[in-house]
Amino acid sequence: MQRSSRLALLHYWVAFATFLPAVLLGAWQMLMRSPLPAPLDDSAAYYASVTLHGTAMAYVVTTFFTMGFGYAVAATSLGRPIRGVTAAWIGYAICLLGTVMAVVTILAGQASVLYTFYPPLLASGWYYLGAFLLIAGSMVWVVLMILNMAAWKRDNPGVPVPLPMFAITATAILWAWAAAGVLLELVCILLPRAFGGSELIDAALGRTLFSVTLHAIVYFWLMPAYIAFYTLVPRAAGGRLYSDTMGRLTFIMFLVFSLPVGLHHLFMDPEHGSGFKFLQSSLTFLVVLPTLLTVFSISASLEIAGRVRGGRGLLGWIPALPWDEPMVLAVGLSLVMLGLGGFGGLINMSFAMNSMIHNTSWVTAHFHLIFGGAVVIMYFAIAYEMWPRITAKPLRSKRLARIQLWSWFWGMLITTIPWHIAGLMGQPRRVANFDYSDPLMARMGPLVIISVIGGLVLLGSAILLIVVLVRSHFGAAERVEPLGYAIAVNPPVRVAPALNGFGLWTAIVFVLMILTYGYPIGQFFILKSHSVPAVEITMPDAGGAP
């Protein structure tokens, strides 16, 4: 167990050590694109910074956090050490090497292509190689999660897999499917071109392959938060999980509905027909099912806890909940942000409404509210929950942790609400400089300035997070209760095989992927070629600092 804990802790360290500088970059970017004066006012630096912020937040923080969370969950929920610890350390080393390689290349100004790559933009090959190693290294984790679950099932025939383990394995399978797109894009398109193996670059095929990743990766980020919703929150609130089956169904639905939907990121791309765009848009809407199911069952679980604690009446259970627990507070704040962001998301995924806000600040605001808000605040709560149990050093101050969560919540709202409005006004995303003297842009100026204030609050909150964790780390050791998971009202005794494994669901995903992506990807090989000259940003006069 000790070795599994150490594994989780080192993954968390990389995640949070990357997190703070990435937030700092984000705050500077807000300032840079605002009417206020910014230090280092240089657009080349801005694009390098956006790339670094995106790469750090989307690949490094999330992958390391989820891997660490997965190892911790596997060890604690199965109640036995992880099998394949050596392989896990090798995977960790590969991911770390890839991270360093990518970060150094971006800092050298040789990779300002943003984390979505989007050919024909072309960065230095070392950036792509770094990203490849990071993502490919995480496949070791995927295999270990699946193997650990399979081994446990073999050793415990007929016993339901514990929900946390079931959920983290769903996350691993989801990530394997999701990563397939970007890995194929890197291996077949970007790396050969970057290292001089080919002359042209098939931009459209590259974008299509990335779209396979682009939506499912979001659910990969989201899954630890949902696992916490189902397995940690009810216990922290002092109650029980309303339904184990609902939890299983939720994770299964996330696996199925997050994959055949990525074309909704390419609504404006001309190389795909409207039929496939509509089909995938329509499948995207199904994600409301697991989301609403979760909102229902988490509310029900919290109601159980509130009533156990003496809450009476229709809504009396809400004030009765232990809001001073970081985990309970975080879930409340997270659901508010999830609700606001979710409604914005419905507009993004609608084939027609999307055109109003496509590529505007609205989109950036949306995913900051959902990922940066609803999901990351749960990462904080998970860290506050797990850190003491791994290090045997309890949180020094729960009050400081609550202040951190509240400030993150308000910072995110202050940042993203004006950002949404500026997007509706037509402010494009991923642009370094705006001419705020232009009458069209002038009315967005005050909104952008409010966003900057939110960004500074977020930076303060991120510093506070590190302070809370480091202070506790150097505190006195105490006996801490080991990590436990919520028990369902009706603990599962016998579970249908389909809800205890992923064979059926993987087969359904496979068929759906063939039906929804077979032609959109296949057409490039039989009908169309979109090979174009690459736009190399590695040239000294194009990308680097002047």
Q: Which of 59, 242, 505, 524 binds other proteins (CB under 8 A)?
A: 505
Piece in contact with other proteins (CB under 8 A), picked from 91-99, 177-185, 402-410, 505-513: 505-513
- 386, two tokens: 């797990």
Query: What mask, x for binding other proteins by CB under 8 A, covers residues 217 to 256?
Result: ---------------------------------------x
Using rule CB under 8 A, residue 278 touches other proteins:
yes
- 331, two tokens: 């879930």
Place of tokens 């605001």: 365
Piece in contact with other proteins (CB under 8 A), picked from 187-195, 268-276, 322-330, 364-372: 268-276
Is 368 a known active-site residue?
yes
Using rule CB under 8 A, residue 196 touches other proteins:
no
Is 33 a known active-site residue?
no
Query: Which residue, 89 or 519, is less far from other proteins as judged by CB?
Result: 519
Q: Which of 85, 87, 403, 508 binds other proteins (CB under 8 A)?
A: 508
Residues 482-501 that bind other proteins (CB under 8 A): 496-499, 501
CA distance 309 to 312: 9
Helices of type H across 191-273? 191-194, 203-231, 233-236, 244-257
Query: Which one, of 11, 22, 17, lies nearest residue 458 by Cα?
Result: 22
Using rule CB under 8 A, residue 526 touches other proteins:
no
Q: Which DSSP letter does residue 187 get?
A: I
Q: DSSP secondary structure string, 374-437? A: IIHHHHHHHHHHHHHHHHT---S-HHHHHHHHHHHHHHHHHHHHHHHHHHHTTPBSS-S---TT
Packing angle between helix 398-424 and helix 445-473, nearest 10 degrees?
A: 160
What is the C-alpha R_g of the chain? 23
Packing angle between helix 62-78 and helix 203-231, nearest 10 degrees?
A: 40
Query: Which residue, 410 or 519, is less far from other proteins as judged by CB?
Result: 519
Q: Does the CA dihedral 424-20-390-472 come out positive or negative? A: negative
Using rule CB under 8 A, residue 279 touches other proteins:
yes
CA distance 256 to 235: 28
Smallest separation (angstroms) from other proteins to the CB of 291: 16
- 372, two tokens: 């940066």
Residues 281-300 that bind other proteins (CB under 8 A): 282-283, 286
Using rule CB under 8 A, residue 504 touches other proteins:
yes
- 411, two tokens: 């910072």
CA distance 165 to 69: 11
Place of tokens 């890995």: 183
Piece in contact with other proteins (CB under 8 A), picked from 204-212, 267-275, 310-318, 337-345: 267-275
Strands (DSSP E) along 340-381, which ranges? Answer: none
Q: Which of 107, 514, 515, 539 binds other proteins (CB under 8 A)?
A: 515
Find the catalytic residue in 402, 430, 471, 473. Answer: 430
Query: Which residue, 38 or 286, is less far from other proteins as judged by CB?
Result: 286
Using rule CB under 8 A, residue 276 touches other proteins:
yes
Smallest separation (angstroms) from other proteins to the CB of 296: 19
Query: Which one, of 377, 463, 359, 467, lies nearest residue 413 by Cα?
Result: 377
Is 420 a known active-site residue?
no
Smallest separation (angstroms) from other proteins to the CB of 162: 19
Q: Which of 157, 479, 527, 541 binds other proteins (CB under 8 A)?
A: 527
Query: Which one, of 437, 433, 457, 440, lies nearest residue 34 by Cα?
Result: 433
Is 366 a known active-site residue?
yes
Q: How many residues bind other proteins (CB under 8 A)?
A: 29
Using rule CB under 8 A, residue 146 touches other proteins:
no
Packing angle between helix 244-257 and helix 288-308, nearest 10 degrees?
A: 160
Cβ atoms < 10 Å from Cβ of 204: 23
Piece in contact with other proteins (CB under 8 A), picked from 163-171, 271-279, 312-320, 375-383: 271-279
CA distance 358 to 338: 21
Find the catalytic residue in 47, 367, 379, 434. Answer: 367
Query: Which one, of 73, 265, 261, 267, lies nearest residue 169 by Cα?
Result: 73
Smallest separation (angstroms) from other proteins to the CB of 222: 21
Smallest separation (angstroms) from other proteins to the CB of 209: 17
- Binding positions for other proteins, rule: CB under 8 A: 256, 271-279, 282-283, 286, 496-499, 501, 503-505, 507-508, 511-512, 515, 519, 523, 527
- Active site (catalytic) residues: 215, 219, 366-368, 429-430
